[in-house]
Structure 1
């Protein structure tokens, strides 16, 4: 017997697309100018910002594509639709951050020993314009649904670029005041550290979903105990909690009910509890009456699901169960 529910999100996919498309237009316009100025100024920090902004543009374009793909209905063999495309997008964004950080780190270390001439004023002015552009783009993306790991991946790209421009502006000012051109390299290394942090976070979060791990905010042991504590339940096993995509937790389980209790009523009670207390709407429950033999002797070997996956959850005070 099963209970299933749909998923509603506070911010519509159409709204997400509008905000992301606006941020993409702003970034691409500025990117073209920054590459030109970076070459003229001889600034690695500006060119690294431009390279990062290229991945920003790519990440937003990828996020837009993933949103469109995820909106397709579940058909044929794609029984969950294409919702995991958003997680693929988030993981791709994390990987590009790490790869770009590796390249920029290498270039920065090389320039520590062979510092080129850097035009501080061009660096400072371009970086200040970049701060304004990235504040605008960051605000636009923050208006989209950041509970989506796909949108969060694009947001992290833009946010890191904002930090990068702030560091580059400081470097430009130092070069103007002191002539210390290595400040350009130091700014790049700060950006590299931020990119690594964001990239690792995105890959870790997306990998948890691909590995079907329970969301971090949901404790399977606690939820299993809560299900087993409902009236009429003797045991819960084969409990699985995972995410179809970010913000869409799902649960399935086999529930054994005491003879004489209404399986339908127990199923509805558990489904309501999961929705109300844990915000799990996509629930599939197999509900059966426990055999008198199982209740009487409590022998694991006699259990109808001897190969049950994971622990078995039973009421804390229930006698003769296991």
Structure 2
């Protein structure tokens, strides 16, 4: 081989190797510059829901830190599965995110084969809320406490309760309560808490399981809090466990992203999320929606909670014969 040709080829090989190393270090194209355009924050619940209020309180803080508009988009339906499915199909580039409870991501694929995603389809970025749930009845209902469930259900051959879709945390809470109380509770699915409360108030269903914060000031009665502790919005209402029923559920969530997000994008998004969740705008909404004092978790802690919850929900669904 002629010396000049050998030198030229060696030079090209070195340049190629250097370019490959540079691209590998840089990660996916555009990751270093992210974001350069608006970001969609998909809320898989109806407008006006508690999660929607929290998403809209967080978005301005995210926009301020990221330098691009963060637009909340409602894609509700099927207990949150419609919106989660949409985000799971998006490119993992940081421009389509979810603001959601983890339940439709973790539980729905265990119960339904048609979700189009698995629990591994989205990654947790930050937890920014942790809802407690309330069991509500109409003002004139004969149900005044959990002790009344058994006699009333036996007298009428069963009761109906409203929830937010198959696999929703409300659905699981009702099934757990029916099992713990030894009563027949028929689930009735709705698109949102507002529809549940409306039908409870009108007497079209006997019970509703809703986010506790949603029913503050609503024309319904809360007869039990399905959480570890009493709700600050209903301090005189006992928990199910205080009444002797081992039922406690929580719906925690925050910002989720399609799996495979570049590390640089993930790190910047987590930092923006932590700062936005610490803003007074978000803090005021957190207090209004009865969030616990410590509601924020970063990526590592949020992901660990989700992994533990996945194992717990798998065991729960098997015990209740609800897994597909």
TM-score (normalised: structure 1) = 0.25
TM-score (normalised: structure 2) = 0.25
Higher relative contact order (CA 8 A, sep 6+): 2
- The structure richer in helix per residue is 1
Which has the greater radius of gyration? 1
- The structure richer in strand per residue is 2
